[in-house]
Amino acid sequence: MEFTEIVRRRRMVRSFTEDPVDPAAVDRMLAHAVRAPSAGFSQGWAFLRLDTPADVTRFWHSTSPDPEADNAWLRGMRTAPVVIVPLASATAYLDRYAEPDKGWTDRDPGRWPVPYWYVDTGMASLLVLQTCVDEGLGACFFGVPGERHDAFRTEFGIPADHVPLGAIAVGHPAPGGSRGSAGRGRRPVGEVVHRGHWGVTEA
């Protein structure tokens, strides 16, 4: 598939069919994810791959404020046969930038006006989403409630210095599974691109 078509077709899919996902496709998603750029080549990301029914059920149970809740969003999302959790580690960046070629030996997070451990892991996550499209699959990136991070870490043995950036549900899209949020459309380029000075927009 042409890259332009991948970008055009990428949507958040919120409901999936019962068809299994080829493990080789998940392999490719993660192989592409680690090709993302990272500050100082720190590569402070990790990915939890959950691709068995038991593990996916454990994910939903550990991350849901109310595991027994039943609503349309959860009913659709819980049909995903695969969940990938991207995790970001600030420690990897602080360690990397304390090395001789960087020299920030105080390891002060305040040196980072933008926390690149989140930025870089987000870019890796986008590569997963784009690979899903290329594989003929659907995916949805969604958040893990902050109050459930500890339960999630305990359930899956996640180190304390790794923060779940969110989670990516993966599967074959069900009919109507990619309906957008409240019918919101995309903002046009001319509305969001400022050329040379704020307020000077694209024609």
Res. 182 pLDDT band, cuts 50 70 90? low
Res. 116 pLDDT band, cuts 50 70 90? very high
pLDDT at 99 over 80: yes
CB-based contacts of 102: which residues, under 8 Å, 6+ apart? 40, 96
Q: What integer is the mean pLDDT of 25-29?
A: 98
pLDDT for residue 203: 63
Q: Is residue 201 part of a domain?
A: no
Higher pLDDT: 3 or 69? It is 3
Identify whether the C-beta of residue 144 lies closer than 8 Å to the C-beta of residue 85: yes
Domain count, the chain: 1
Q: Is residue 199 part of a domain?
A: no
Q: Is residue 203 part of a domain?
A: no
pLDDT for residue 70: 82
Q: Is residue 135 part of a domain?
A: yes
pLDDT for residue 112: 95
Full residue range of the structural domain in which residue 116 is found:
3-192
Q: In 10-161, which ranges are continuous DSSP H helix?
A: 23-33, 53-63, 72-77, 90-96, 116-134, 149-156
Q: What integer is the mean pLDDT of 76-87?
A: 97
Of 150, 168, 134, 154, nearest to 45 by C-alpha is: 168
Q: Is residue 19 part of a domain?
A: yes
pLDDT for residue 67: 74
Q: Is residue 179 part of a domain?
A: yes
Q: What is the pTM of this model?
A: 0.93
pLDDT for residue 184: 77
CATH of the domain at 58: 3.40.109.10
Higher pLDDT: 178 or 186? It is 186
Q: Is residue 200 part of a domain?
A: no
Q: Is residue 50 part of a domain?
A: yes
Measure the CA–CA gap between 124 and 121, rounded to whole angstroms: 5
Q: What integer is the mean pLDDT of 21-45?
A: 98
